[in-house]
Amino acid sequence: MTEAIKIRIGGTNIYLLQSEFNFYVMIDTPISTGKNKLLQKLSHYGISPSQIKLIIITHSHTDHTGSLAFLKELTGAKVIAQQKAAAYIEMGRSAQPVLTNQFLNKLADKYLSRHPEFNKFEPVKTDIIFNEEYELSEWGIKGKIISTPGHSKGSSTIILEEDVSFVGDALFNISPFTITPPIIEDKAELHKSWQKMIKSSSQYFYPGHGPRISRQRFLKAIKKASK
Ligand SMILES: [Zn+2]
């Protein structure tokens, strides 16, 4: 794999990994209103939608799934998600977000007023469903997807052998002060998932929101959380 392509739409990062088999694997999709911008960006990178053969959904929140139905139809790609996320994807809705504090609650209210579609999206049938782990080698990607619940019950992380991970919203990088996501369904689960994620040899962790996070910064956050 050459370096992943990062496309930022409406504050959400979409990543494209190049498969050894000469196609692309997409991690997450933009909000429903971000379709055209995504198509523009793909064309900017010289990627035709039919070159995308697999779409990995890190979790079922609409800022990651909003364009999924459209993109599945357009690309013909298979969709993969963890079992609990897949259940929501097939219902076309997110679990009710649970926010960590008052300040962030206000931010979320603002976000929700700007994105009333937040909790709903067009339902999609997930083609490949896994529980704990899914090996990506058959897709020409050296790596795997592992279940990392906490932000939401069906959250997952893509760990590549070349020492980078794509973590969805298990980590958040929109503030210089914290990488803890503003939405947590289960804090104990999230911290368990962090332990699983740091066990990989990843040097960088690419979140669904904001720039990549170094291993050192993640280690600091884990140490602080265990106090
Ligand atoms: Zn999320």
| Distance in Å, CA 200 to ligand 1 centroid | 22
What is the per-residue pLDDT for 99? 67
Q: What angle do CA 138, 6, 168 make, to 5 degrees?
A: 70
How many angstroms is it from 126 CA to the middle of ligand 1?
Answer: 18
Three-state secondary structure of 83-107 = HHHHHHHHHCECCCCCECCHHHHHH
For residue 118, the model assigns a pLDDT of 65
Q: How far is the CA of 161 from the centre of ligand 1 (A)?
A: 25
Using the mean position of ligand 1's atoms as its centre, give its distance from the Cα of residue 185 in Å. 10
CA 57–ligand 1 middle distance (angstroms): 11
CATH classification code of 5-225 = 3.60.15.10
C-alpha 97 to ligand 1 mean position (Å): 8
Q: Separation of 47 CA from ligand 1 center, angstroms?
A: 26
- Section 81-100 average pLDDT: 85
Distance 183 CA to ligand 1 centre (A): 7
pLDDT at 169 over 70: yes
* pLDDT score of 114: 78
- By the CB criterion, residues less than 5 angstroms from ion ligand 1 are 61, 169
pLDDT in tens, 56-67: 999 999 899 999
Distance 189 CA to ligand 1 centre (A): 15
Is the pTM higher than 0.85? The answer reads yes
Cα–ligand 1 centroid distance for 59 (angstroms):
6
Q: What's the gap in Å between 151 CA and the centre of ligand 1? A: 7
Tell me what the mean pLDDT of segment 78-88 comes to.
97
CA of 84 to the centre of ligand 1 (A): 14
> What percent of the chain has a predicted confidence (pLDDT) above 90?
83
In angstroms, what is the span from residue 77 Cα to ligand 1's centroid? 22
Kindly report, residue by residue over 95-149, the tens digit of the pLDDT. Answer: 666 666 777 777 777 877 776 666 789 999 999 999 999 999 999 999 999 999 9
